[in-house]
Chains A and B, each alone.
Chain A
């Protein structure tokens, strides 16, 4: 017997909130991407815990797809960051004001 299921969910939820706060509060584009990675990781943790609670393997299968999505997302995201830095010379989100928004 291990810890209650609520403790695991609370841990995953706290990590998700940390990632969300990082993605909202930081202005460096790389840190925003890191926040998204933390959020995806926390979601996977909740899936694995639910898979253990109900003794079904579907949760673990979904974590595999979350991994695939995270890998392609980070590849595209980093390529976009390099591309935008080549155009504007900065990775600060405040400097992307080409449309004067």
Chain B
């Protein structure tokens, strides 16, 4: 008897296994590798959960892979091992590398088109998508978390120095004056510092003043583009920062965002950083602070133009079945929906990537309740982007950022003048570009 029952059960199990079509179709799994740890990682998980609950066909599984560089390397290694995720989050400096990997990626416009789902590229903010779009307007990757560089200032220190907190400096000469006053009044030991120096004081400086960062429309026109960020505006700006070090108007904050400690500890009163640092400062600063648009050089014609983004976008990798791509497309539509995107924007301080999400946030009164959170988007959309302010696209740009950091250190420690340092950075960067062009013929 016992044996018979066991046998029967085995039979049932075997039948069930042999006929999966009879059972309810299991949802198709979509893997997403991302670089958001901590609170942001939890937010990513909850977005995916929301999508998974909203329908039954697909299941998006987010996996945290470490820093941007770690995530990209992991994705590449997985692709080489023929086991890649469907969606890979890649930082903006990896854009050209991803674009060049033709057999490895599937452009987002193609994914959306083949899915048959509604997709309107013009619903997105052009200054955000521009970074990830070909010159003929095809969107290659889905922007997800984008930020831009803005100016933060310590309102308490402003008051202490007798400065009007409602009037943050608009131009660089003004910023210098304000910084000097802050130091003179003892409101902060040093005036100004910065995070992400290469991104803010070179890449964004160019866009903000409508000055080319490289040839061929900042690299959008082809891999034979070369860097030109040693032209007079760049030299003048960096030399000014270096000169400002002498009377503590400026201090080098270190690489990446290590300088954040200088602002939230009150060592400096003015600080240029990513708009996505807002939430962090809100938590760590024991003083009131405000945000303003990046200062500009008033004698430069065409300034201020608009700034460019940093952050990351979502790339779709090649080699999956059409129904899986359909799931990717459905997920992209979900994260682009005004509610999801507005929530992400308000929670993280990253830009809303669609116009509708921006409008929704305005309507909800978020910007009034949280003064300073709108600065980034206003600055991004100040003018229609030009060839010089659409973004930059250079191969191996992550390495060039490293070169910039090292040259900045040579300049700010007085080993080189701004001209020498930038010339050397451009020279070394262009050698990489020549190598990249050769490798991606």
> Are A and B part of the same complex?
no
Interface set of B (CB-CB < 8 Å, partner A): none
